A and B are shown apart, each in its own frame.
Chain A
């Protein structure tokens, strides 16, 4: 039996405001525990929350980028539960009137573009972190407690693990684009819970399960695949899916039931009266809108129109803001967008993939990178030399001027006809048979002589000049 997967996400993203959402403690990832803490964020008796308006602004930004409607009045609720990382035993969150309502993000799928609808985006405070001590017992670090968080809740519009991955990658890129979050999964600044259910074509939605503890996009993909298989097997063997929360164990590659629906916590949501509702004027929304950068789609369009780049290239270049910004910087310094684009699309992207980290870090700067391109364009260095130089700049020395580097690395192209002619003559002398082949019109034999010259010059010969000389001498 073929089932259709129905997948919805709850994505939690920490906002990178300077301070926490309800106090003036620094919002920074800190390895030393309980450094960024005060009576408010450790829930001391009597301490009250004071809203950091920046958090609301960032949530609006995210909402605008995801085509949401911005609520004119947003309210706060308390979500009550006990856990040591939650110092007040309630989390200030939003339920009835979140900052953003109903939006969508378009993703590319095998069947063309698809709109994934956003149900809402709400603001809340993050909890602290439990550290299980090697001496037994647990310790709590409240550095993260009170960091502003948005929860982006999608409609169940995703239909496969691959599609979910594409959505998450696009979402992460978008949130980084607009500068509201670092989206570092390894530091927990982006987390996501996944709801999965199956249904037969044309039939209503099946019973869903919720998956937690997904620490990476890879884990999300694996967990969804696992869950679809698990549910398919149950249904195929005539069983029923139980509505439950499951915990993914990435090491074991399987999930475990955490709690059934009946055991679900009653969070006893109710209005947080320590915080007045926030009025959001259309004027404020307009101001926030003005701070939004060009979003990936618009930016790609701009590249196509202004630089004549192919749609595909433009899309790749704009998929990550670090890359797009690098491209823009390069174009500003060196007026050959096509060449820049080609290099970024091939060599730069390959390097990035080789050193895959969550954050794209470019060891080379635009100034030296474009200087290198210019040296190549001006035939000072040939293609192989340019690649060698690029490797050197990426891995060893990105600071030194490429002009000096090519001297140091002895990469300057030999275009001097006299010098190349002497070399070529010697090779012809030593390879009379091959020379005859060339004279007889054998194209492959020409390549042989080019290769020999390159070998003799350690790849520095100007291939154009060598070709001309072969034509002349043979």
Chain B
């Protein structure tokens, strides 16, 4: 039963062919069987069962229930859940229990979803491998020796291994799409500002976006619709219209212009990814799509821009973890400075400290213009280049990642090579538009490979229709 898609289980629940309690228990059994994946930081078992019984009772009495009534979901551990630990997979927040729900959590609860657990992740969402988690790496459900990807590794592995029917993740430079690609799930990064960030523990404020991870495109559109919307508590929240994301099942690629940045294809060194991307583009071409190879020259600067601006914001955002109010506090300290110093040195992992250093370096007096200001200017250029590209095409398609999942190697020191994971995904965060990763095939080793469909800002409707059509064509 846990193998059903979100819409399927909701259908069964509505018809009362399955009770929510059964759905929850089925997932809990599967969580137990998949403990080795290390996908979850916290399992909300007792509360989930209690909540499932309440929803079943309400349904039995014929009361109105929400659109997600009784469906168990997983939430990434950087999204605040009232009364449920939210740790960011960091030693810093091991005992942290939020006093409020993130807006997205409120929205899910308003639709009677059941929060089954909190997903493991890279510490403070910094990473593309889930190796930086204080609670250990998440294993790829397709091959346990391989990484799940990150930072939403736990969320993606959970969906892929059927621990729940859908999950929420957060995507700052590819943190939903990249692990979704590695784990064979569908992952969405909605347009910046369309999903409230209120309650998302910030990594890089101007790139962070919450999005869903699901088993198929239709579920992804459904979840995106539910969590989107203006939120007065997030001042950058989009105030305009939110169109219906109901999938157009008749959508055709005929005469659709698909842009393919040739700079991206040039970067493809992995033969499997290259072959599958080519194959799928040919498939779309056969469906009548017009494949336009285009040059996007600024994209090569996306990663440096992402790290300069992203780390700068992260350095500031993580200042609040100082051992004073909540979270980890070193037990032996001499004075205030020592308290800060020891709490942060002991509470943060290596990758986090590295990014804080990089960020503060870019923000410091002598470097601000050369790094931060320059990166901001390039960000504007990247945005403009995307805008210009979308004058020539309807959607842009790239592989989601340059390689399939790599082997878990905790000794891996070469952070630089891991940063390359985001090369196709980070530009989208920099530009602020929407993108989805859809499974597109498997490598010779049987590891999933994803295709990224990039839409213009607020182009979710077209993106989901196209992704759905692609999913159908592939099958």
Which residues of chain A are near B360, meaning CB under 8 Å?
268
Contact (Cβ within 8 A) B102 A46: yes
Which residues of chain B are near A46, meaning CB under 8 Å?
78-80, 98, 102, 197-202
Q: Distance in Å from the Cβ of A140 to the closest Cβ of chain B?
A: 7
> Does chain B have a CB within 8 A of A44?
yes
> Does chain A have a CB within 8 A of B99?
yes
Q: Distance in Å from the Cβ of B105 to the closest Cβ of chain A?
A: 10
Contact with B along A251-286 (1 / 0, CB 8 A): 000000000000000101111011110000000000
Q: Distance in Å from the Cβ of B306 to the closest Cβ of chain A?
A: 14
Which of A43, A44, A276 meets B99, CB within 8 Å? A44
Which residues of chain A are near B321, meaning CB under 8 Å?
45
> Does chain B have a CB within 8 A of A42?
yes
Contact (Cβ within 8 A) A268 B102: no
CA distance A81 to B387 in the complex (A): 37
Total number of B residues with any Cβ neighbor in A under 8 Å: 44
Which residues of chain B from 311 to 327 have any CB-CB distance to chain A below 8 Å in the complex?
312-313, 315-316, 319-322, 324-326
Q: Distance in Å from the Cβ of B301 to the closest Cβ of chain A?
A: 19
Contact A51:B322 (CB < 8 A) given known A46-B198, A270-B316: no
Contact (Cβ within 8 A) A270 B372: yes
Which of B235, B312, B320, B365 meets A43, CB within 8 Å? B320
CA distance A82 to B320 in the complex (A): 9
Contact A80:B319 (CB < 8 A) given known A46-B200, A270-B368: yes
Name the prevailing secondary structure of the A interface residues. loop
Which of B235, B322, B324 meets A274, CB within 8 Å? B235
Name the prevailing secondary structure of the B interface residues. loop
Closest to B92 in A: A45
CA distance A39 to B97 in the complex (A): 12
Which residues of chain B from 325 to 356 have any CB-CB distance to chain A below 8 Å in the complex?
325-326, 336, 340
CA distance A46 to B200 in the complex (A): 5
Contact A274:B232 (CB < 8 A) given known A46-B80, A87-B325: no
Contact (Cβ within 8 A) A44 B232: no
CA distance A84 to B322 in the complex (A): 8
Contact (Cβ within 8 A) B235 A276: yes
Contact with A along B236-247 (1 / 0, CB 8 A): 100000000000
> Does chain B have a CB within 8 A of A473?
no
Which residues of chain B are near A269, meaning CB under 8 Å?
363
Which of A47, A82, A89, A270 meets B198, CB within 8 Å? A47
Q: Distance in Å from the Cβ of A186 to the closest Cβ of chain B?
A: 27
Contact (Cβ within 8 A) A43 B325: yes
Contact (Cβ within 8 A) B235 A48: yes
A-B contact count (CB 8 A): 101
> Does chain B have a CB within 8 A of A206?
no
Which residues of chain B are near A266, meaning CB under 8 Å?
364-365
Which residues of chain A from 29 to 81 have any CB-CB distance to chain B below 8 Å in the complex?
39, 42-51, 78, 80
Q: Distance in Å from the Cβ of A12 to the closest Cβ of chain B?
A: 22
> Does chain B have a CB within 8 A of A88?
yes
> Does chain B have a CB within 8 A of A90?
yes
> Does chain A have a CB within 8 A of B213?
no
> Does chain A have a CB within 8 A of B400?
no
CA distance A260 to B319 in the complex (A): 25
Which of A45, A78, A90, A271 meets B80, CB within 8 Å? A45
Contact (Cβ within 8 A) B372 A273: no
Which residues of chain A are near B78, meaning CB under 8 Å?
46
Closest to B93 in A: A45
Contact (Cβ within 8 A) A90 B200: no
CA distance A110 to B324 in the complex (A): 52
Contact with A along B364-394 (1 / 0, CB 8 A): 1100100010001000000000000000000
> Does chain A have a CB within 8 A of B443?
no
> Does chain A have a CB within 8 A of B290?
no
Contact (Cβ within 8 A) A48 B197: yes
CA distance A87 to B233 in the complex (A): 19
Contact (Cβ within 8 A) B363 A273: no
Contact (Cβ within 8 A) B236 A45: no
Which residues of chain A are near B205, meaning CB under 8 Å?
273-274
Which residues of chain A are near B102, meaning CB under 8 Å?
46
Contact (Cβ within 8 A) B98 A89: no
Contact (Cβ within 8 A) A273 B368: no
> Does chain A have a CB within 8 A of B251?
no
CA distance A88 to B376 in the complex (A): 24
Q: Could you say which of A43, A44, A48, A50 has the most chain B C-beta atoms within 10 Å of its C-beta?
A: A48
> Does chain A have a CB within 8 A of B145?
no
CA distance A46 to B320 in the complex (A): 11
Closest to A42 in B: B325
Q: Distance in Å from the Cβ of B99 to the closest Cβ of chain A?
A: 6
Contact with A along B102-136 (1 / 0, CB 8 A): 10000000000000000000000000000000000
Contact (Cβ within 8 A) B206 A273: yes
Which residues of chain A are near B376, meaning CB under 8 Å?
271
Contact (Cβ within 8 A) A39 B99: yes
Closest to A51 in B: B235
> Does chain A have a CB within 8 A of B209?
no
CA distance A269 to B373 in the complex (A): 12
Which residues of chain B are near A90, meaning CB under 8 Å?
316, 319
Contact (Cβ within 8 A) A276 B98: no
Contact (Cβ within 8 A) B235 A45: no
Which residues of chain B are near A270, meaning CB under 8 Å?
312-313, 316, 363, 368, 372
Which of B79, B198, B235, B324 meets A140, CB within 8 Å? B324
CA distance A88 to B322 in the complex (A): 9
Which residues of chain B are near A43, meaning CB under 8 Å?
320, 325
Q: Could you say which of B233, B235, B364 has the most chain A C-beta atoms within 10 Å of its C-beta?
A: B235
Which residues of chain A are near B322, meaning CB under 8 Å?
82, 84, 89
Contact (Cβ within 8 A) B199 A274: no
Which residues of chain B are near A82, meaning CB under 8 Å?
319, 322, 340
Could you show 13 A-B contacts with beta carbons less than 8 Å apart? A39-B100, A44-B99, A45-B86, A46-B198, A47-B100, A48-B233, A49-B235, A89-B320, A268-B363, A268-B364, A269-B363, A273-B206, A273-B236
The 4 closest A-B pairs by CB, nearest first: A89-B319, A268-B363, A273-B206, A45-B201
8 further A-B contacts with Cβ under 8 Å, apart from A45-B326, A49-B235, A84-B324, are A44-B80, A44-B100, A46-B78, A47-B198, A48-B235, A80-B363, A88-B320, A270-B313
